[in-house]
C-alpha cells in the first residue's frame, strides 16, 4: 500500500501496523484540527453512572497556563479508578495530546499552533522540582488530584471540576500549565503519541530511571497491561535477560512474547513459583503492576540479595533483609520534557513499538472505551476527536 509523506522514518508505519483506513483517519483528523468544534467534556455524573457530555467553558489562561485543543486522550487505569469516586461534574483524563490555541503572558516554551503531549503537573519551585525530580514534587497530590489550582481557584466555572493531573483531557479543550506540556514534532500523529504522558512513561521510566536495569540482569514483570508492556520494551532496549512476563490474559502474554519477553507465564499456573525459580534463581529486579497481593509476595521472595522491586499499583516502599528494596514509584521518576522525546525517538527507530498496544475509539464512545479498558479487552484505549 502507498505510504503518506507523514512519519516517513517510523518503522511501525513501514511494518504495516496501520491499515489504509487507520492512516487516512489519523491524517484527516489532524488536518481538521483547525475546523470549528463544539466545546464539550465527558464528566462524572453520579457514582457508577456513565460519563455524561456537558458543554465546556474555560476561563482564559493565567500567565503560566495554556489552552490546548485536544486531538486525543489515552485512558489510564487511574481514570478507571477515579470514575467511581470523583465528585459529580469532575472531568478526568490525563493522557492528552493536541494543538496549543492560547498561551498566558509568561509562557515561553510553546506558541499557538505547536503540537504538544500533556503529562503530569509539578510546581517547579519545591526542592524536588529544583533537583529535576518533579515526580516527587511536594505538591504532587494537590496539583494532580485535587481538581483545582494550587491556590484553590479553578479555571472551570461551576458545576465543572477540572485540573485533573493539571489537564482534565476527557474534553475537547484543556486548560493546562506550561509544566504539563511537551512540545513534539507537528508531523507525528498526535493520537498515537497521547498515551506517552502517563502509563507508558511510568513503565519505561521505572526500568530506565528507577531500577536502572542493566544488560544481562533478570527482570520479572507482574502484569503486562500498558505499564507492564512499556517496562518490557524498555528492558529489551537495555538488553535485560531473562525478561519474564506474568499475566492472566493469554492474548497479553502472546503479545509480550512478540515484544521481547523471554518467557510469558500465566499468573494462576499452580507450578508458577517453580517455573520462576528455574528461569531466574537469583532475580535482579521486579516490576509489580497488578496490585495482586499473592504475586507481590512471590516477587519479593524471588529477589536476590541487593535486588529491587518497583511497585506501580500502590503499596508502601520497604527495605527487606539482605539489602533487598521495594520501591513505590511515581511516573517512572521521569522528567516528561526529557523522557517523552526519548520514547518518541525509540519508537521512530523501532525499539519501542508502543503503537501495537493502542485501540482507538471516537470520543463519543468514551463509555464503551472505559468499559473495554476495564475488562482488559483494550490494552491501551485512546479516545480520538474525529
Query: How confident is the model over 222-257, as pLDDT tens digits?
Result: 999 999 999 999 999 999 999 999 999 999 999 999
248 in a domain, yes or no?
yes
The CATH number of residue 138's host domain is 3.90.180.10
347 in a domain, yes or no?
no
The CATH number of residue 284's host domain is 3.40.50.720
Residues 190 and 254 both lie in one domain? no
Decide the pairing of beta strands 96-103 and 181-184: unpaired
Please give the Cα distance from 184 to 198 (Å, whole number). 16
Residues 6+ apart with CB under 8 A from 297: none
Please give the Cα distance from 2 to 66 (Å, whole number). 37
7 in a domain, yes or no?
no
Residues 135 and 48 both lie in one domain? yes
Task: Please say if the pLDDT value at position 174 is more than 70.
Answer: yes
| Confidence (pLDDT) at 11 | 46
Task: Please say if the pLDDT value at position 320 is more than 80.
Answer: no
Decide the pairing of beta strands 380-384 and 65-74: antiparallel
Asked if 315 and 191 touch (Cβ cutoff 8 Å), the reply is: no
Q: Based on the structure, what is the number of domains in the chain?
A: 2
Average pLDDT, the chain: 90
| Confidence (pLDDT) at 386 | 73
Residues 148 and 211 both lie in one domain? no
Residues 158 and 108 both lie in one domain? yes
| Confidence (pLDDT) at 48 | 79
Residues 188 and 149 both lie in one domain? yes
The stretch 321-349 carries a mean pLDDT of: 91
| Confidence (pLDDT) at 4 | 31
**DSSP code string of 64-96:** TEEEEEEEEEE--HHHHHHHTTSPTTB-----E
Residues 189 and 223 both lie in one domain? no
In terms of DSSP H, where are the helices of the chain? 11-14, 20-31, 77-83, 127-130, 140-145, 190-193, 199-205, 226-237, 250-258, 272-279, 293-302, 336-348, 366-374
| Confidence (pLDDT) at 60 | 95
- Residue 289's beta-bridge partner residues? none
Task: Please say if the pLDDT value at position 17 is more than 90.
Answer: no
187 in a domain, yes or no?
yes
Residues 209 and 180 both lie in one domain? no
267 in a domain, yes or no?
yes
Task: Please say if the pLDDT value at position 318 is more than 70.
Answer: no
The stretch 27-51 carries a mean pLDDT of: 75
Residues 185 and 61 both lie in one domain? yes
318 in a domain, yes or no?
yes
For the stretch 186-218, pLDDT in tens is 999 999 999 999 999 999 999 999 999 999 999
Domain limits at 167? 39-194+353-384
For the stretch 274-299, pLDDT in tens is 999 999 999 999 999 998 999 999 99
Closest to 383 (Cα-Cα) out of 231, 190, 218, 214: 190
Task: Please say if the pLDDT value at position 15 is more than 50.
Answer: no
Q: Which residue has the higher pLDDT, 255 or 23?
A: 255
| Confidence (pLDDT) at 32 | 62
Residues 149 and 272 both lie in one domain? no
**Highest mean pLDDT (candidates 9-23, 47-61, 141-155):** 141-155
Task: Please say if the pLDDT value at position 173 is more than 50.
Answer: yes
Closest to 378 (Cα-Cα) out of 228, 231, 193, 252: 252
359 in a domain, yes or no?
yes
Task: Please say if the pLDDT value at position 21 is more than 70.
Answer: no
**Element of type H or E holding 360:** strand 358-362
Residues 133 and 45 both lie in one domain? yes
Residues 232 and 376 both lie in one domain? no
Closest to 228 (Cα-Cα) out of 381, 96, 379, 349: 379
265 in a domain, yes or no?
yes
**4, three cell numbers:** 503518506
Task: Please say if the pLDDT value at position 8 is more than 70.
Answer: no
Residues 147 and 249 both lie in one domain? no
Amino acid at each position: 500500500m502507498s505510504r503518506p509523506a507523514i512519519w516517513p522514518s517510523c518503522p511501525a508505519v513501514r511494518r504495516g501496523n496501520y491499515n489504509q483506513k487507520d492512516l487516512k483517519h489519523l491524517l484527516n483528523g489532524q488536518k481538521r484540527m483547525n475546523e470549528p468544534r463544539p466545546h464539550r467534556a465527558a464528566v462524572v455524573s453520579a457514582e457508577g453512572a456513565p460519563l455524561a457530555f456537558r458543554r465546556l467553558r474555560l476561563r482564559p489562561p493565567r500567565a503560566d497556563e495554556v489552552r490546548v485543543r485536544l486531538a486525543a486522550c489515552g485512558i489510564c487505569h487511574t481514570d478507571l479508578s477515579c470514575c467511581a469516586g470523583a465528585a459529580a461534574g469532575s472531568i478526568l483524563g490525563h493522557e492528552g495530546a493536541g494543538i496549543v490555541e492560547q498561551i498566558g503572558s509568561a509562557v515561553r516554551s510553546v506558541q499557538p499552533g505547536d503540537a504538544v503531549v500533556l503529562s503530569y503537573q509539578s510546581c517547579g519551585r519545591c526542592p524536588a522540582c529544583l533537583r529535576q525530580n518533579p515526580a516527587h514534587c511536594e505538591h504532587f497530590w494537590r496539583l494532580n488530584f485535587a481538581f483545582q489550582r494550587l491556590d484553590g481557584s479553578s479555571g472551570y466555572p461551576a458545576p465543572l471540576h477540572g485540573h485533573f493531573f493539571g489537564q482534565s483531557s476527557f474534553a475537547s479543550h484543556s486548560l493546562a500549565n506550561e509544566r504539563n506540556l511537551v512540545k513534539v514534532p507537528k508531523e507525528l500523529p498526535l493520537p498515537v503519541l497521547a498515551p506517552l504522558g502517563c502509563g507508558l512513561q511510568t513503565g519505561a521510566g521505572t526500568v530506565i530511571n528507577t531500577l536502572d536495569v542493566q544488560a544481562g540482569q533478570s527482570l520479572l514483570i507482574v502484569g503486562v497491561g500498558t505499564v507492564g508492556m512499556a517496562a518490557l520494551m524498555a528492558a529489551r532496549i537495555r538488553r535485560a535477560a531473562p525478561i519474564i512476563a506474568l499475566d492472566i490474559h493469554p492474548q497479553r502474554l502472546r503479545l509480550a512474547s512478540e515484544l521481547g519477553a523471554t518467557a510469558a507465564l500465566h499468573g494462576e499456573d499452580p507450578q508458577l513459583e517453580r517455573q520462576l525459580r528455574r528461569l531466574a534463581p537469583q532475580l535482579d529486579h521486579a516490576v509489580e503492576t497488578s496490585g495482586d497481593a499473592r504475586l507481590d509476595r512471590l516477587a519479593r521472595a524471588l529477589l536476590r540479595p541487593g535486588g529491587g522491586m518497583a511497585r506501580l499499583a500502590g503499596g508502601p516502599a520497604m527495605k527487606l533483609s539482605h539489602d533487598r528494596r521495594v520501591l513505590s514509584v511515581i511516573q517512572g521518576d521521569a522528567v516528561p520534557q526529557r523522557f517523552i522525546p526519548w520514547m518518541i525517538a525509540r519508537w521512530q527507530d523501532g525499539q519501542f513499538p508502543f503503537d501495537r498496544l493502542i485501540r482507538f475509539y471516537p470520543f463519543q464512545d468514551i463509555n464503551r472505551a472505559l468499559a473495554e479498558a476495564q475488562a482488559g479487552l483494550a490494552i491501551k484505549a485512546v479516545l480520538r476527536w474525529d
